[in-house]
């Protein structure tokens, strides 16, 4: 007699187990979170714990209570992120190993205080790869190359997939070198003097590096989640523009030199406020580039040409007015000239995308996917930007005695927040979609860029330590 049990044709939330003899069992629910962890997951978690323990033993005496709290909090955060997105495990362990190798090379040569930073010009591997400045220059080169290969993917015919795969791998390599450069620069700052060391997010040079790798990493996440590499050409375009400004800033101002923190920045709030802020900046920039793809795919060519003239052209006109009639310092005028050239170059590229939209649009994903990526990027950015704004208020209270002072930087941060709050409200409450949402996201990038750079160029205030 057959005793097998029947199952429904649609399993719903249930999964059909394996048959033993003539009996089919029903397995309720899904595997537990812990049972889904692989051996590599547990090895990764163990290595993170060992690394945190090493940092605590060797550098804990130099940390204050807040820094120890950040170290403790970083352990579960890194483990969770690595388990949630597999590639982060390899990236984290690779950056950690390379950083320790660089530190070991530095510590072989010491001066009166600590590691001799002159080793960066003497030791082969430090000079050509592992010192902070070398790693950041590699980051810049790799980001340019990644952008080039992503664009080649639109026009390479049968080699499109190969070109974009190379672009993706180069983007990963650039993030690796950026994080390596950041970690080694952090170590280098502590070797200059007892009061010099700080997390490298304190000036325009350091935050441009932060912006570049954060934006790239968020893009790579969406690239994997949506299984499309065709957005990389546009997203890496704005990353490359940031890298170009970074390189100019390095040459023109010697910005790569590590400097002591001004008093207002000597606060633990900086360690959390600035990274949270730049998650917002990076994802807003990513959303704007996806919006550009959306418009290139859906809007009439005439509308695109008008927008190309109206939005960036208007920005160029304002910059020209400030340059011609504003009472600006010579270095600020030079910065405006460089920014105008970069923007002009971006305009030329955008004009090319309109002319070649037929070829490009054959590779880009459906409008629904573009709309979803744009929405998720803005939602993530808005959440982090909100956190950063609140943290900034606490920092201001500690540094200047008040939570809000209507400083130009604060005012424009509020404008950015209100802009994206309105965007999300219109989407969630009114169903905002399509071209209007895309144009709004592009204009939002202009507003965000002014809050990030324009305020530093044209306005003065309590944040004047960030001037160009």
Q: Hey, CA dihedral for 350, 446, 242, 90, is it positive or negative? A: negative
What residues does 67 pair with on adjacent strands? Answer: none
What's the pLDDT score for residue 6?
A: 42
Identify whether the C-beta of residue 260 lies closer than 8 Å to the C-beta of residue 399.
no
With b for 16 or more beta-carbon neighbours within 10 A and e for fewer, the 328-359 pattern comes to beeebbbbbebbeebbeebbebbeebbeebee
What's the pLDDT score for residue 16?
A: 42
What's the pLDDT score for residue 19?
A: 44
Q: Which residue positions in the chain have pLDDT lower than 50?
A: 1-22
Rounded to whole angstroms, how far apart are CA atoms 196 and 202? 12
User: Which residue, among 452, 374, 372, has the nearest Cα to 412 in the 3D structure?
Assistant: 452
Question: What is the distance of C-alpha 388 from the center of its chain?
Answer: 15
State the chain's mean pLDDT as an integer. Answer: 85
Identify whether the C-beta of residue 381 lies closer than 8 Å to the C-beta of residue 284.
yes
What's the pLDDT score for residue 327?
A: 57
Which helix (H) or strand (E) is 18 found in, with range?
Answer: strand 15-20
Rounded to whole angstroms, how far apart are CA atoms 251 and 366? 42
What residues does 23 pair with on adjacent strands? Answer: 20
User: Which residue, among 353, 381, 365, has the nearest Cα to 441 in the 3D structure?
Assistant: 381
- 316: Cβ–Cβ under 8 A, 6 or more apart, which residues? 340, 343, 344, 347
Rounded to whole angstroms, how far apart are CA atoms 380 and 392? 18
What's the pLDDT score for residue 192?
A: 85
Rounded to whole angstroms, how far apart are CA atoms 144 and 396? 37
HSE-up of residue 62 (Cα within 13 Å, Cβ side): 13
- Mind giving me the DSSP string for 297-317? HHS-HHHHHHHHHHHHHHHHH
Rounded to whole angstroms, how far apart are CA atoms 330 and 339? 14
Identify whether the C-beta of residue 230 lies closer than 8 Å to the C-beta of residue 164.
yes
- Mind giving me the DSSP string for 250-315? HHHH-TTS--PPPGGG-STHHHHHHHHHHHHHHHHHHHHHHHHHHHHHHS-HHHHHHHHHHHHHHH
């Amino acid at each position: 007699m057959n005793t097998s049990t029947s199952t429904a044709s649609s399993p719903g939330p249930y999964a059909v187990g394996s048959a033993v003899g003539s009996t089919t069992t029903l397995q309720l629910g899904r595997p537990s979170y812990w049972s889904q962890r692989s051996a590599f997951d547990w090895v990764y978690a163990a290595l993170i714990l060992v690394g945190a323990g090493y940092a605590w033993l060797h550098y804990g005496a130099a940390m204050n209570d807040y820094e120890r709290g950040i170290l403790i909090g970083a352990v579960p955060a890194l483990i969770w992120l690595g388990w949630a997105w597999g590639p982060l495990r390899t990236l984290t362990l690779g950056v950690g190993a390379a950083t320790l190798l660089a530190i070991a090379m530095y510590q072989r040569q010491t001066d009166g205080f600590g590691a001799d930073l002159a080793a960066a010009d003497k030791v082969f591997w430090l000079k050509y790869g592992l010192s902070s400045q070398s790693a950041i220059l590699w980051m810049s080169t790799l980001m340019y190359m990644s952008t080039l290969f992503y664009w080649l993917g639109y026009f390479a015919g049968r080699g499109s997939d190969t070109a974009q795969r190379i672009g993706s791998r180069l983007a990963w390599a650039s993030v690796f070198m950026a994080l390596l450069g950041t970690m080694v620069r952090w170590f280098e700052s502590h070797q200059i003097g007892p009061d010099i060391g700080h997390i490298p997010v304190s000036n325009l040079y350091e935050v441009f590096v932060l912006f570049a790798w954060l934006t790239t990493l968020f893009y790579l996440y969406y690239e994997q989640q949506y299984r499309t590499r065709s957005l990389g050409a546009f997203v890496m375009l704005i990353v490359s523009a940031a890298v170009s400004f970074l390189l100019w800033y390095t040459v023109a101002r010697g910005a790569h030199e590590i400097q002591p923190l001004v008093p207002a920045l000597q606060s633990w709030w900086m360690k959390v406020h600035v990274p949270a802020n730049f998650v917002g900046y990076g994802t807003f920039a990513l959303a704007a580039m996806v919006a550009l793809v959306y418009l290139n795919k859906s809007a009439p060519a005439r509308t695109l040409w008008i927008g190309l003239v109206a939005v960036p052209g208007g920005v160029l006109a304002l910059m020209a007015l400030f340059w011609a009639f504003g009472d600006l310092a010579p270095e600020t005028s030079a910065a405006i000239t460089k920014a105008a050239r970069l923007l002009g170059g971006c305009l030329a590229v955008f004009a090319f995308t309109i002319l070649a939209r037929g070829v490009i649009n054959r590779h880009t994903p459906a409008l629904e996917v573009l709309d979803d990526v744009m929405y998720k990027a803005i939602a993530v950015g808005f959440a982090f930007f909100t956190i950063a704004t609140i943290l900034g208020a606490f920092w201001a209270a500690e540094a200047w005695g008040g939570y809000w002072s209507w400083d130009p930087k604060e005012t424009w941060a509020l404008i950015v927040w209100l802009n994206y709050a309105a965007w999300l409200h219109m989407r969630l409450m009114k169903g905002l979609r399509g071209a209007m949402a895309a144009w709004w996201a592009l204009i939002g990038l202009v507003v965000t860029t002014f809050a990030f750079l324009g305020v530093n160029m044209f306005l003065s205030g309590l944040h004047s330590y960030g001037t160009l």
